[in-house]
Amino acid sequence: MNPVLALAALVVVGAAIVAVSAREARTVVLALAVVLLVSPVIADPIAAPVGLAARLVGAILAGYLLWIAARDDASMKLAHAPTGGSRIGWPAEFLGAAAASVVGMSAHGLGAPAGGPVIASAAGFAVAALAVLPVLTGRDVLRVAIGCLLLLDAGLLVRTALGGTPGPLEQLLVALLLVTVAACAAALGRAARLDPPGGFDYATEAPIRVRRGPDAHPLPESERDHPGGVAGARGLDERVRPRDPSPPRP
């Protein structure tokens, strides 16, 4: 076993444990960035420089986008916002990841000779096990986003273990995917934080479904005051603001 790959796998799994266990949003984002940065290194042979550069730039960009959503910003009235963190504690997460890595190591190749290193399989299974709980039980935007990114990263590690080192175009597409997920999650997280009372928490489910009107090009007031209209008939939320009411930029 290549000791460098083993070390990289340990870093990835350790950072993933921090990412799913910590409650401080910035710590979580930093740990995720480490996972995304080190994951492409777990390949034998190591990826071509162009592909590796794409992954590294993508990881940094993904981490930075989430950082923007997670950081405190007094000028935007974005107060400190923690995330859910692990409900079972980091020791339990660690043990679950260790067990999953053993499974991944023993199931390497899934019945056929694999094209990648066994350590990638172990790391992929461990990260996947860590991602399951945030994805399934997460109740705030950042935690679910972290879970989704970890899950995708786990899938990519398993893909490396099965099929060998991805080519440059695939690395570029992976970077595009991770940045897209991080950008959308950051936008959603920021939207949640800007809504009182702040924080990344999910909205409480309303007792009835609430229709939310268009925010762009709404119909004029005179046309929306129809007596049979939705707002009049069901008391639904048809509030539309003609201008973007987002807070002023600093």
CA-atom Rg of the chain in angstroms: 22
| One of 49, 220, 248, 250 touching other proteins (CB under 8 A) | 220
What would the DSSP string read from start to end of 104-163?
HHHTTTTTS--SS-HHHHHHHHHHHHHHHHHHHH--BHHHHHHHHHHHHHHHHHHHHHHH
Interface with other proteins: number of residues (CB under 8 A): 76
Least distance to other proteins, CB of residue 145, Å: 7
- Given the complex with other proteins, which of 94 and 202 has the nearer CB atom? 202
Site for other proteins in 10-49 (CB under 8 A): 48
Contact call for residue 104 and other proteins (CB under 8 A): no
Site for other proteins in 44-73 (CB under 8 A): 48
**Which region among 9-17, 20-28, 96-104, 215-223 touches other proteins (by CB under 8 A)?**
215-223
Residue 140's DSSP bridge partners are 201
Phi/psi-derived region of residue 171, left when phi > 0, alpha when psi is between -120 and 50, beta in every other case: alpha
- Given the complex with other proteins, which of 18 and 144 has the nearer CB atom? 144
Site for other proteins in 106-135 (CB under 8 A): 110-115, 135
- Given the complex with other proteins, which of 31 and 145 has the nearer CB atom? 145
| One of 74, 207, 216, 250 touching other proteins (CB under 8 A) | 216
Long-range contact pairs involving 58-61 (C-beta distance under 8 Å, separation at least 24): 58/174, 58/175, 58/176, 58/178, 58/179, 59/33, 59/175, 59/178, 60/33, 61/179, 61/182
Site for other proteins in 134-153 (CB under 8 A): 135, 141, 144-145, 147-149, 151-152
Q: Quick one: tokens of 105?
A: 């190591």
Least distance to other proteins, CB of residue 84, Å: 13
Distance CA 115, CA 161 (A): 6
**Which region among 8-16, 72-80, 92-100, 221-229 touches other proteins (by CB under 8 A)?**
221-229
Site for other proteins in 152-211 (CB under 8 A): 152, 154-156, 158-159, 162-164, 166-170, 173-174, 176-177, 180-181, 184-185, 187-189, 191-192, 194-195, 201-203, 206, 209-211
- Given the complex with other proteins, which of 3 and 113 has the nearer CB atom? 113
Distance CA 201, CA 203 (A): 6
Neighbours of 173 (CB within 10 A): 14
